[in-house]
Chains A and B, each alone.
Chain A
Amino acid sequence: MSSHDMETREINTVDKLAREVEARGHGAFVESYDPRDDRMVINMGPVHPSTHGVLRLMLELDGETVVRCLPVIGYLHTGMEKECEDQNWRGAVTIVTRMDYLACLFNEQVYSLAVEGLLGIEVPPRAKYIRTMMAEMYRLSSHLVWWGTQGLDMGAMSAMFYGFRERELLLDFYEMVTGLRMNHGYFIPGGVWEDLPQGWERAVRNITSQMPKRIDDYENLLTMNPVFLERTRGIGVLSSDQARAMCASGPIARASGIDWDLRRDAPYEAYADVSFDVPIATEGDVYARYRVRVAEMRESVKIIEQLAGNMPSGDFKNMDPKIMPPPREDLNRSMEAVIHHFKITTQGYKVPAGETYAFVESPRGELGCYVLSDGGTSPYRCHVRDPSFVNLQTLAPMVEGGLLADLVASIASIDPIMGGVDR
């Protein structure tokens, strides 16, 4: 056989292979395959067990190495910002709470802070304390889901069971207070919808006494686990310059050495009254983000203890009848109360024209809410700056040049919530 024949045969085989791959895999998994330069473009997601929802990644691979990574989002987009424009000011709470569904109370909190800023109303101290305490609990339960899924993605199946077991404690508490296990609509502009129920102190004590021991258990399972260390140390490194360039916030930025926490640096609600540390790491790898989040869980327990111990008495919402429906018993004796009730339930209240930007530190970073009012009964424009959406951009610098198998570790350490990303 001459060398010319061999060459032709090789080209034929290569073309055949390429055709076969395209025919078998196109659209489902392999987007395109060029055997001449060993590069392959594959799709990861939007239905993939490690992409945390409907995240789709287009990956250009050179063998096992990720050359480029491009997140494709929008699979969960439901136009919530537009929907808010058709709701009254109170009703929009039930829309924003569905954005970041693992930390729903933070969405309600930031929206309420924004509307309160426009209304210029006071929130009673008890409402501030209840909100801060419930939000910190949400930070715990959100980090528990992250801990479970981070472990699961690294092959530690039991992490999922333990994380969700403790989360159940917290979900039970939310159910006791708000009647729902998620998407509560509990924080409203002006305070909280209902006071804490009887027996809440015992339930909180139960959580704060159990959690430190449980977090010790988690650390025993994963923190010094050689397999876990091997798969997370030095993986998905994000330098502090990259984090700053990508506008990252929250635990991702803090694990890259950016010392910035809104709870400490711009105290809102009751954070000025509590003492806590802000965990920082400088390595910027998956393991650093792991340690920062676990340390944050311990700090959250401390904050919950302090707030529950100093809970002030008094009103749990601003009782201004122009923005808050009157108590049920007043409707039976006061004509004025009936009128106010009717106005608020049918039309809603008006908010003075203006714009504001409120922000809170959610478990994933800075959660912001830009609200513009035209003086009417519904938001003219309500934009939520979701930290998952912004932090997702740090995925490409983390994974490019790394192995495909390490990609899932990086995704889990970003902890994106697709409801918040797509809104």
Chain B
Amino acid sequence: MELVSGREWHDRARELHDGNWQLVDLTAIDRLRLIESDPRFEVVVQLVNHETKERMTLHVTAEGEPPTVASVTPIWPGANFFEREVYDLMGIVFDGHPNLIRIMLPEDWEGHPLRKDYGVGKVPIDFVPQPLIQIDAPGQSPRNDEAAIRLDRLGQAVVEGDQP
């Protein structure tokens, strides 16, 4: 097990990618009720090397409010769904992710259920009748600078200079 700080994660991931390491799994843990609860959020990454058949586990610490880690989707495109899932259920923001929106829960869901302080059974379940993804409308993005993000017809964030 290797501990990586959130700031170094992007460079470390690039290094591992160039060294033939393949992403297998990316998830997160909330250490709130563990004895060592600082830092609270950690992203747990499993890697495999198909040539040497070795495996590796990395813990990436997510600091700040909201907890933030660099996204590795530009390095391993398959990390896309994993990071969206972790964002959705654990509330960790992946900096540099092309389309960080909720994946499992409705767009208007409040809170992140896999957090240990999420009130299970205490939160009223309320589905607001709205389309899941708003087409041709400035949509809600998870970040604070939401006004700056433009969504296209599939509800994806548009990167400037990227023409469909």
CA distance A383 to B45 in the complex (A): 12
Taking a contact as CB atoms closer than 8 A, the residue among B23, B104, B136 that contacts A247 in the complex is B23
Interface centre among A82, A368, A381, A393 (most CB of B within 10 A): A381
Q: How far, in Å, is A109 (CB) from chain B's closest CB?
A: 17
Interface centre among A79, A247, A357 (most CB of B within 10 A): A247
Tell yes or no: A174 within 8 A of B by CB.
no
CA distance A266 to B46 in the complex (A): 15
Q: Is A81's CB under 8 angstroms from B81's CB? A: no
CA distance A81 to B85 in the complex (A): 12
Q: Is A68's CB under 8 angstroms from B29's CB? A: no
Nearest CB in chain B to that of A265: its residue: B53
Q: Is B78's CB under 8 angstroms from A380's CB? A: no
Q: Is A393's CB under 8 angstroms from B114's CB? A: no
Q: Is B44's CB under 8 angstroms from A370's CB? A: yes
Q: Is A381's CB under 8 angstroms from B29's CB? A: yes
Tell yes or no: B8 within 8 A of A by CB.
no
The binding surface of chain A is classed by DSSP as mixed
**CB-CB contacts below 8 Å: B28-85 with A:** 29-30, 33-34, 44, 46, 50, 53, 55, 57, 76-82, 85
Q: Is A393's CB under 8 angstroms from B81's CB? A: yes
Tell yes or no: B120 within 8 A of A by CB.
yes
Q: Is A81's CB under 8 angstroms from B114's CB? A: yes
**CB-CB contacts below 8 Å: B113-141 with A:** 113-114, 120, 131-133, 135-136
Tell yes or no: A422 within 8 A of B by CB.
yes
Chain A residues whose C-beta falls within 8 Å of the C-beta of B114 in the assembled complex: 81-82, 381
Taking a contact as CB atoms closer than 8 A, the residue among B34, B44, B120, B131 that contacts A380 in the complex is B34
Chain A residues whose C-beta falls within 8 Å of the C-beta of B135 in the assembled complex: 31-32, 41
Chain B residues whose C-beta falls within 8 Å of the C-beta of A245 in the assembled complex: 76-78
Q: Is A357's CB under 8 angstroms from B25's CB? A: yes
Q: Is A72's CB under 8 angstroms from B78's CB? A: no
> What 0/1 pattern do residues 367 to 386 of A give for CB contact below 8 A with B?
01010101000001101010
Q: Is B33's CB under 8 angstroms from A380's CB? A: yes
The binding surface of chain B is classed by DSSP as loop
Chain A residues whose C-beta falls within 8 Å of the C-beta of B22 in the assembled complex: 244, 247
Q: Is A41's CB under 8 angstroms from B154's CB? A: yes
Tell yes or no: B103 within 8 A of A by CB.
yes
Interface centre among A258, A366, A380, A390 (most CB of B within 10 A): A390
CA distance A392 to B150 in the complex (A): 25
Nearest CB in chain B to that of A260: its residue: B50
Q: Is B133's CB under 8 angstroms from A58's CB? A: yes
CA distance A393 to B85 in the complex (A): 13
Interface centre among B33, B34, B153, B164 (most CB of A within 10 A): B153
Binding site for A on B (CB under 8 A): 1, 22-25, 27, 29-30, 33-34, 44, 46, 50, 53, 55, 57, 76-82, 85, 89, 102-106, 113-114, 120, 131-133, 135-136, 153-156, 164
12 contacts between A and B (CB under 8 A): A31-B153, A39-B153, A70-B154, A82-B114, A245-B77, A246-B78, A248-B78, A258-B50, A357-B55, A370-B27, A383-B27, A393-B81
Q: A374-B34, A422-B104 are in contact. List 20 more A-B contacts (CB 8 A).
A: A27-B131, A60-B154, A60-B164, A70-B155, A73-B103, A74-B103, A79-B113, A82-B113, A355-B57, A357-B25, A357-B55, A370-B46, A380-B29, A381-B30, A385-B25, A385-B27, A390-B82, A393-B77, A393-B81, A423-B104
